[in-house]
Copies of this chain bind each other. A is one copy, B any other.
């Protein structure tokens, strides 16, 4: 979670790990000029993209969790908004264009230093196809979601909340925290069923 530099990325001098004056935790400090380097959580952004009641799901072609199923999502890049990042990831992973809706879930995954944010979205024209990081893309009814074959617990939690909200007729923002090991409680498998 905490990368921990060994060398200063500016000048190449060794890094010392010490608590700066006025701070309350150890930081990476350049031994040459004292510059402090911080490490911070990463934002992951994605979509719950619906088309005629079904949800766009991607089967991962890459590690981690190769062959498991996910909502299209990935790391937010510099220079883009969270919503734009979610649109881009949906395009990259599922060759799909979406009209973006409101933020639906914000899930803190503190033990890996990530915040996952999923936006509701509507698939344009129902078109989708696997991008380079997916082996297949499928529009799934709720009954078809392979819950134990989901890639990540934040995908499980987001889908669970999504279908519950949809049944209730009212979508709200779900700001939640995910503890280490919760994927076991959810029943996520350690090894995927291999594609036929």
With a CB–CB cut-off of 8 A, which chain B residues contact A25?
A: 77
Interface residues of A in 23-73 (CB under 8 A from B): 25, 28, 37-43
B42 in contact with A80 (CB, 8 Å):
no
A151 within 8 A of B: no
Taking a contact as CB atoms closer than 8 A, the residue among B9, B15, B82, B110 that contacts A6 in the complex is B9
For the complex, give the distance between the alpha carbons of A177 and B43 in Å.
16
A177 in contact with B1 (CB, 8 Å):
no
For the complex, give the distance between the alpha carbons of A4 and B7 in Å.
14
A147 within 8 A of B: no
Q: How many copies does the complex hold?
A: 2
Instruction: Identify the closest chain B residue to A12 (Cβ).
Output: B7
Do A103 and B102 form a contact, CB below 8 Å, given A9-B7, A76-B40?
Answer: no
For the complex, give the distance between the alpha carbons of A37 and B42 in Å.
13
A81 in contact with B102 (CB, 8 Å):
no
Do A173 and B102 form a contact, CB below 8 Å, given A7-B7, A110-B79?
Answer: yes
Taking a contact as CB atoms closer than 8 A, the residue among B22, B78, B113 that contacts A1 in the complex is B78
A194 within 8 A of B: no
Which A-B residue pairs are the 8 nearest by beta carbons? A7-B12, A5-B9, A81-B108, A78-B113, A9-B9, A12-B12, A81-B177, A40-B42
15 contacts between A and B (CB under 8 A): A1-B78, A5-B9, A6-B9, A7-B8, A7-B10, A7-B11, A9-B9, A12-B12, A40-B42, A40-B75, A40-B76, A40-B78, A41-B43, A78-B113, A83-B108
Known interface pairs A9-B9, A9-B15, A76-B115; 13 further A-B residue pairs with C-beta atoms within 8 A, sorted by A's residue number: A1-B79, A6-B9, A6-B10, A6-B11, A7-B8, A7-B10, A7-B12, A12-B14, A40-B77, A79-B110, A81-B177, A82-B175, A103-B175
